[in-house]
């Protein structure tokens, strides 16, 4: 696996770890053609941050598992304070376009069936 953290690329072999400081831009990708399993742990002194990351990954991976259309996946991504590895104006434009199209097509920003604590998250509760 390769990871780019704050502009620096690092290649990781099986069993190696990387720490990504809070609020630092990062991305990672598969290197080679072997399957990759990632174990991720998100910790913060702010409980809302931990809950927010759990909620994001539950929704994203649930939508991926159910073969949600790419527009639906983008709707989840751009509405959970995530940004693509693109200039900020591209992120902003994409969010405007996806926010206009996705709800019309029936997509949601949160899915109660994927979210462990939907009843405590205002953006998720509206879909209950």
Region of residue 98 (left: phi > 0; alpha: psi -120 to 50; beta: else) = alpha
Do residue 24 and residue 61 come from a single domain?
Answer: no
Do residue 67 and residue 116 come from a single domain?
Answer: yes
* The total number of structural domains that make up the chain: 2
Range of the domain at 103: 47-125
pLDDT of residue 86: 72
Closest CA to 74 of 105, 95, 52, 104: 95
pTM of the model: 0.67
Cα-Cα-Cα-Cα dihedral sign, residues 64, 46, 94, 117 = positive
Distance CA 39, CA 63 (A): 19
Do residue 68 and residue 93 come from a single domain?
Answer: yes
pLDDT of residue 79: 84
């Amino acid at each position: 696996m390769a990871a780019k953290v704050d502009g620096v690329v690092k290649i990781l072999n099986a069993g190696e770890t990387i720490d990504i400081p809070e609020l630092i831009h990062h991305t990672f990708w598969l290197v080679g053609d072997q399957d990759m399993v990632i174990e991720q742990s998100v910790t913060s002194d702010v409980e809302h941050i931990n809950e927010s990351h759990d909620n994001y990954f539950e929704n994203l991976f649930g939508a991926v598992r159910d073969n949600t259309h790419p527009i639906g996946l983008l709707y989840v991504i751009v509405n959970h304070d995530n940004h693509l590895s693109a200039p900020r104006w591209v992120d902003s434009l994409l969010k405007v376009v996806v926010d206009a199209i996705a709800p019309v097509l029936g997509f949601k920003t949160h899915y109660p069936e994927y979210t462990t604590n939907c009843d405590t998250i205002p953006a998720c509760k509206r879909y209950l």
